[in-house]
């Protein structure tokens, strides 16, 4: 199922409905606080899809579109959180469901991947999510769609893209870190979004490759669990100071925030899904928030 033409039409429809005006003057937000739509705002739209990213752009408070990357067998960079198709959100072309770990993206060509839908099945954890027929996009097509809408509304978006890799899964679920990084960097260079893109990962290996091979690219270190409150320990493990320290929100303390700022790092916690939690973190002095519900901003 190929939705590429549908996406192009969708951009036009959205812009007509929202009164978008084409403009040659592009504006990058000067707002210092970075509100990020996690997976495009999966609480409201099917995650990591082009319609999700376009919908998030309608919220002027959203500065950054956050997304995850995987690689297909034919070396296409695609936008997916999971290296294997997720049975919670995936439907076969015939309308039937898949089993866990039944299909690994790195073992499939993109033409095969397009036959699966990831927007029609009701996600039990996100009941507000709008349902629509949509497939896993390439990063190339997603950026084209976002940049096209940006030119219509006169507002450029920032990108926060995660390299989804795990040590021990190289060549099974994804390429080795060097190849993964090169594939991603080639696209963001081709699309001329290098200065508006941060590359993040829980895996320190691609971040270290980026630091060594592409030092000008902005990096964010994702961390989880109670130890992520100790930013100093985590940065020592990483081996260099990234632009952004991005911990699991529930472990952020004032000491964590102060350490990051003292060491010239921004701190942007994930994934913050209530207004109360957002307000508490803002009071601590964080530099941004990643949420499934950008409507709470």
Q: Which among 158, 137, 184 is positioned nearest to 6, based on CA atoms?
A: 137
Between CA 190 and CA 112 the distance in angstroms is 25
Between CA 235 and CA 242 the distance in angstroms is 8
Between CA 277 and CA 275 the distance in angstroms is 5
Tokens of 297: 């901003």
Give the count of beta carbons closer than 10 Å to the beta carbon of residue 13. 11
Convert 16-37 to b/e letters by CB count within 10 Å (16 or more is b): eeeebeeeeeeeebeeeebbbb
All domains in the chain, ordered by first residue: 4-296 (3.20.20.190)
Question: What pLDDT, on the 0 to 100 scale, is given for residue 18?
Answer: 40
Give the contacts of 173 (CB within 8 A, at least 6 positions apart): 83, 84, 104, 105, 106, 165, 166
Question: What pLDDT, on the 0 to 100 scale, is given for residue 31?
Answer: 62
Question: What pLDDT, on the 0 to 100 scale, is given for residue 15?
Answer: 42
Question: What pLDDT, on the 0 to 100 scale, is given for residue 13?
Answer: 40
Give the contacts of 109 (CB within 8 A, at least 6 positions apart): 72, 73, 74, 76
Average pLDDT for consecutive 10-residue bins of the chain (297 residues)?
44 40 40 93 98 98 98 98 98 96 98 98 95 98 98 97 98 98 98 98 98 98 95 97 98 97 98 98 98 97
pTM: 0.90
Question: What pLDDT, on the 0 to 100 scale, is given for residue 32?
Answer: 84
């Amino acid at each position: 199922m190929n939705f590429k033409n549908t996406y192009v039409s969708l951009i036009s429809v959205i812009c007509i409905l929202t009164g978008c005006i084409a403009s040659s003057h592009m504006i990058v937000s000067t707002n210092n606080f970075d509100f990020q739509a996690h997976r495009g705002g999966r609480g409201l739209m099917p995650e990591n899809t082009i319609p999700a990213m376009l919908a998030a752009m309608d919220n002027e408070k959203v500065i950054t579109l956050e997304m995850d990357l995987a690689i297909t067998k034919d070396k296409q960079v695609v936008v997916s959180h999971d290296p294997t198709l997720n049975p919670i959100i995936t439907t076969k072309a015939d309308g039937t469901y898949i089993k866990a770990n039944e299909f690994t993206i790195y073992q499939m060509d993109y033409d095969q991947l397009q036959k699966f839908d990831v927007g029609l099945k009701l996600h039990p954890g996100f009941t507000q999510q709008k349902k629509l027929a949509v497939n896993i996009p390439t990063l190339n097509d997603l950026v084209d769609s976002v940049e096209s809408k940006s030119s219509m509304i006169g507002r450029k978006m920032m990108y926060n893209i995660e390299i989804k890799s795990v040590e021990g899964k190289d060549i099974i679920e994804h390429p080795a870190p060097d190849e993964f990084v090169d594939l991603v960097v080639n696209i963001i260079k081709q699309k001329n979004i290098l200065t508006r893109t941060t590359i993040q990962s829980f895996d320190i290996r691609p971040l270290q490759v980026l630091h060594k091979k592409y030092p000008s690219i902005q990096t964010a270190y994702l961390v989880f669990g109670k130890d992520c409150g100790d930013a100093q320990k985590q940065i020592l493990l990483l081996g260099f100071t990234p632009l952004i320290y991005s911990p699991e929100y529930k472990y952020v303390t004032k000491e964590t925030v102060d350490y990051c700022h003292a060491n010239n790092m921004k701190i942007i916690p994930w994934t913050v899904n209530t207004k109360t939690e957002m307000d508490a973190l803002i009071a601590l002095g964080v530099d941004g928030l990643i949420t499934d519900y950008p409507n709470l901003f």
